[in-house]
Structure 1
Amino acid sequence: MPIQKSVLLIFTGGTISMAEDPQTGALKPLDFNRVREFIPELKLLEIQIDSVAFNPLIDSSDVQPHHWIKIAEIIEDKYEDYDGFVILHGTDTMAYSASALSFMLENLSKPIIFTGAQLPIGMLRTDAKENLLTSIEIAANSDKNGIATIHEVCIYFEDSLFRGNRTTKKNAELFNAFASYNYPPLVKVGVHFNFSNTHIHQNIQHKPLKVHKQLNPNIAILKLFPGITAQTVHAILNADGLQAVVLESYGAGNASRQQWFYDCLTEAVNRDIIIVNITQCNVGSVQMGLYETSLNLQKAGVISGFDLTTEAALTKLMFLLGENLPIEVIKTKMQQPVVGEMTCI
């Protein structure tokens, strides 16, 4: 008889953890016992399901790096006790949290799956039920030898399991709220689970889990737009304590060729500010030097982030800066995949 699989639910907050108060109509947090009442199908899963919750639960708009550390510490503490972990999280910053955890949890050999909902769990048409049940099933899935099928941090929503650090929230209205524009889904869910084994990360080293808990948030995002002023760019690049910038450029990594802009970037790089160039486009990659309008960026010392999402670029910088690595090492690692977060071209 096969050994029963076990999954730990980590409640952080968000819509999936809420239900309407029948008297006031206001949304209020639920504990796992109430979740079981709303989703009686949980009893049908031949999986041991336990839970732990943030106290208090938090809206995802309030998520900060110290919350990522708290999630990582829970996983670290319970890692040997469970076959997989499902994190219930608000959708607004879920892609940031999944990206951060992907860097913080080194040598993963078990699935960490973020999921949430667009409608509260107590509503008739809620998407919470399917998202939660399927996330639990995937978290407990293993091969014939009992080895977990998924060995990475993921996001599950509607019918797709995505690599967490490749994902972004694309829609505030539809149940299909997330997309992975530059990397295929790891699992497509219909009548059957269709695992894409060629795209799922394989942990073949079997090293023990290593948890990184130092994150450095001294980073800014500079999104270019026609008419952006020298004063704005100068203010961002000279913010107190700034150590790195995610530059959201046009198209394949292009930017204005105005002299003042080049001078601002060059001066910042000379102060050891790391500037990573990613595209504002959902699909595609930065190809610095492809067009003349990106040559100045190269000349100024800006480095390519290839097809990194904003969420992955930001959290990867937080992680690498937190490791207190030399500047040139960080620049090198920002241009190389660490946990499948980018495709270099």
Structure 2
Amino acid sequence: MKKHICLLATGGTIACEKGADGLRPVLTGAELLRAVPELARCGEIDVSELCSLDSSNLLPMHWQRMAQAIAERCGQYDGFVLTHGTDTMGYTAGALYYMLRGIGVPVALTGSMLPLTAAGTDARANLRGAFAVAASGRAGVYQAFAGRVISGNAVKKVDSTARDAFRSIGRPQAGTFALADGALTWQVPEEARTEAGKMDDETQAAFAPQFALDERVAVVKLVPGAEPRLLTALADAGYRAVIIEGYGAGGVPTAASPKNFLPAIVDLRARGVRVICATQCTTGGVHLDTYEMGVLAARCGAESAGDLPLEALVPRVMLALAQADGAQTV
């Protein structure tokens, strides 16, 4: 059965052509469609141009614009494809995953590592995969890229140049698609995905989009010798949440180090600033109940980021801070 799909274009490498200062996005969504005529087999496709930016220039206000555009059109389409630059695609995927919770249709983000007009581009294959996801009827927010389908809250770019640049972090890969024709295979059965959703406190049956974001979220990456006063300075600057990218299982230096972070965590919590321990490791997640530095950080009021990648964690915290009920857990 033919579907009605909406393509939302935002720029990115997929839309780039070479300019005086390097690659910059210039192609429209309509031009992307014309370059892959077989996409018309999905059914009727409408195009909306949201912006034309390198994704390094996107801000949370752009996530809001994307989420609102999808929410406003949700009853008119069977699915959505969002073309996007790769550098911050993980953050946008995470933001839309949580902002559009309960959405009843598929939303597929995609882009490419080479411009559409470049020789040997991966753009056409990724567009075929994204449209296959959008036409699948499998509700939710996903990324379709290099043959992988990844849940929106698990997208992480792990390579700056490889075509297979993304991995699913903290969640099983949702599916795969054939590069030649976009043929789609879901790896996580629908019943298993639904059951897992019941364990996610951000999942609910009814579509309840949320657009409010509190951008006062900072990320501090620990390096040996880092000063605890970094946390205090961020609180003084008005930040309402600080994510600490700690070592290993998420621990921070304790009283055994002259750079003890625990008093700073206590100070921030007393001032109403949330402190969330993440990890610099790509996989494995945070375990504050294992080592002393994690146990003590939690005792001082630090929260665990669990197995969420930073890309999903940041927008999730921004949403939580903006909620009227002041949700206090990640």
TM-score by length of 2: 0.89
State the partner residue of 1:18.
Answer: 16
Question: Is 1:160 the equivalent of 2:148?
Answer: yes
State the partner residue of 1:331.
Answer: 328
Question: Is 1:196 the equivalent of 2:184?
Answer: no
State the partner residue of 1:9.
Answer: 7
State the partner residue of 1:276.
Answer: 276
Partners of 1:138 and 1:26 lie apart in 2 by 28
Letter in 1 for 2:172: P
Partners of 1:293 and 1:25 lie apart in 2 by 46
Residues 229-287 of structure 1, C-alpha deviation per residue, up to 9 Å, x if partnerless? Answer: 24434323x24221111111111122211374211111111111111111111110211
Question: Is 1:313 the equivalent of 2:296?
Answer: no
Q: Quickly say closer, same or farther: Cα 1:28–1:215, change in 2 above 3 A.
A: closer
- Give the gaps of 5 or more residues in structure 1: 142-147, 335-345
Partners of 1:182 and 1:52 lie apart in 2 by 32
For the 8 Å contact 1:151–1:201, the answer to whether it is kept is no
State the partner residue of 1:48.
Answer: 44
Letter in 2 for 1:222: V
State the partner residue of 1:243.
Answer: 240
State the partner residue of 1:60.
Answer: 55
Partners of 2:22 and 2:247 lie apart in 1 by 45
Q: CA deviation at 1:123?
A: 1.0
Partners of 2:273 and 2:204 lie apart in 1 by 36
State the partner residue of 1:341.
Answer: none
Q: How does 1:82-93 map to 2 (within 5 A)?
A: 82-93=77-88
**Identical amino acids, percent of aligned pairs:** 29
For the 8 Å contact 2:86–2:157, the answer to whether it is kept is yes
Partners of 2:187 and 2:236 lie apart in 1 by 44
Letter in 2 for 1:294: G
Q: How many residues align?
A: 317
Letter in 2 for 1:42: L
State the partner residue of 1:255.
Answer: 252
State the partner residue of 1:110.
Answer: 105
Match of 1:174 among 162, 187, 192: 162
Moved more, 316-325 or 197-206: 197-206
- Give the gaps of 5 or more residues in structure 2: none
Q: CA deviation at 1:68?
A: 1.0
Residues 14-50 of structure 1, C-alpha deviation per residue, up to 9 Å, x if partnerless? Answer: 01122357x999655112342244223334x242111
Match of 2:210 among 194, 209, 212: 212
Q: CA deviation at 1:62?
A: 1.1
Q: Quickly say closer, same or farther: Cα 1:27–1:226, change in 2 above 3 A.
A: closer
Q: CA deviation at 1:90?
A: 0.6
Q: Quickly say closer, same or farther: Cα 1:46–1:92, change in 2 above 3 A.
A: closer
State the partner residue of 2:322.
Answer: 322
Q: CA deviation at 1:208?
A: 4.7
Q: Quickly say closer, same or farther: Cα 1:314–1:98, change in 2 above 3 A.
A: same
Q: Quickly say closer, same or farther: Cα 1:26–1:214, change in 2 above 3 A.
A: closer
Q: CA deviation at 1:211?
A: 1.8
Partners of 2:328 and 2:111 lie apart in 1 by 34
Q: Quickly say closer, same or farther: Cα 1:290–1:78, change in 2 above 3 A.
A: same
For the 8 Å contact 1:16–1:116, the answer to whether it is kept is yes
Moved more, 201-210 or 272-281: 201-210
Residues 215-236 of structure 1, C-alpha deviation per residue, up to 9 Å, x if partnerless? Answer: 0001111111111124434323
